[in-house]
Amino acid sequence: MPMRPTHNPKNRFLSNEVVWDDGEAPLATLHVHEERAKSLLSENKSPDLSFRFSINPYRGCQHACAYCYARPSHMYWGYGAGTDFDREIIVKVNAPELLREAFQKKSWQGERITFSGNTDCYQPLEGRYKLTRQLLEICAEHKNPVGIITKSALIQRDIDVLQQIAREASVFVFVSIAFAEDHKGRLIEPGAAPIHRRFETLQALSEAGIETGVAVAPIIAGLNDKDVAMILERAYAAGARRTFKTALRLSGEVLPVFTERLREAFPDAADKVISTIKQTRDGAMNNSEFGQRMTGQGPRWQLIDNLFDLQAKKLGFISSREDIFGPKEPDRGSTFERPRRQLALF
């Protein structure tokens, strides 16, 4: 689906904005901004997310998912939450250096690190920069546990590193699949891997001995809730043994991006989908309350919740609402090995 610069909600952090008003706006062009970041590891304190520490080598995401809850974060860097998020990508070129520095600190206790807590660490630019692979190699070298959430088939490139982490520490990979069919997924997630490739990726990882799961996320009531049973069935057949779900979250500037894409992609069904979403949010399109943002409310959501749980249990999934990768805190048997500082020679 073509993406144009005008598909950007107003940035509330900027006092001025430029609007294209000379005919049809040109297609958005990818711009890559290399950055030497000051920090890399992010500590999560929100009860809505089931991990403590995460790494995001990239800001913005080429997958361009209309519903992505990370879109508003792009405005802190002077960009929009719409096509800017999809096409103005910031690359933290010094990410491997920062991770090594973090591992040197005595305060680091070998907690599991989640890759893609905000944007996908295997988005297309990873093929060029290989930052995620370098970071995983450092984790493997120091036996630090890892968790990954991705929509990309590119992760298959790094099976060898993931196998090493699995031997030396532990690694869980969740492939995010919100739709059962390629064509529907492409309309809402235009830059992500086709749905069938994600199931193939699950199978390849599972056959390589990597522990895998499927993230049915987000569930968009009225649009993809009927896909849940099929997604779980196909994922289990591909070797996934863990699963979790989240409800659609339309905070701030995500709402206009999503509704615009929804009306373009599904013009005949859009109003019904919006009405159904409201049925799972107490009449609203979003709930920003901590602890409630990633789940739904009301009878319609309870039905979705029950059907998900019944299907997951029937198939034999390990289904967790809280700690999808295991406990947030490291246990006493942490595998992490602190790197030794080399003595200077005089």
Q: What is the pLDDT of residues 41-97, one digit of tens each?
A: 988 776 656 678 999 999 999 999 999 999 999 998 889 999 999 999 999 999 999
From the list 131, 117, 100, 118, the residue with the least C-alpha distance to 32 is: 131
Residue 108 sits at φ, ψ, to 5 deg, of -80, 125
CA atoms 154, 216, 86, 90: torsion sign: negative
Task: Determine what percent of the chain is predicted with pLDDT higher than 70.
Answer: 84
pLDDT of the residue at 68: 96
Can you give the pLDDT at residue 271?
98
Q: Is 18 exposed, middle or buried (0-12, 13-18, 19+ CB in 10 A)?
A: exposed
Instruction: Report d(CA 219, CA 217) in Å as an integer.
Output: 5
> Quick check: 11 pLDDT over 80?
no
Domain ranges of the chain: 31-319
**Cβ contact 175:150 at 8 Å:** yes
Q: Are 71 and 85 in contact (CB under 8 A)?
A: yes
Write the pLDDT tens digit of every residue in 115-134. 987 899 999 999 999 999 99
pLDDT computed for residue 332 by the predictor:
47
CATH fold of 31-319 reads TIM Barrel (3.20.20)
Under 8 Å CB-to-CB from 307, ≥6 apart: which residues? 228, 229
User: What's the pLDDT tens digit per position in 85-117?
Assistant: 999 999 999 999 999 999 999 999 999 999 987
Q: Kindly state the average pLDDT of the residues 191-220.
A: 97
Shortest CA distance to 163 belongs to which of 214, 205, 197, 113? Answer: 205
Over range 11-30, report the average pLDDT: 51
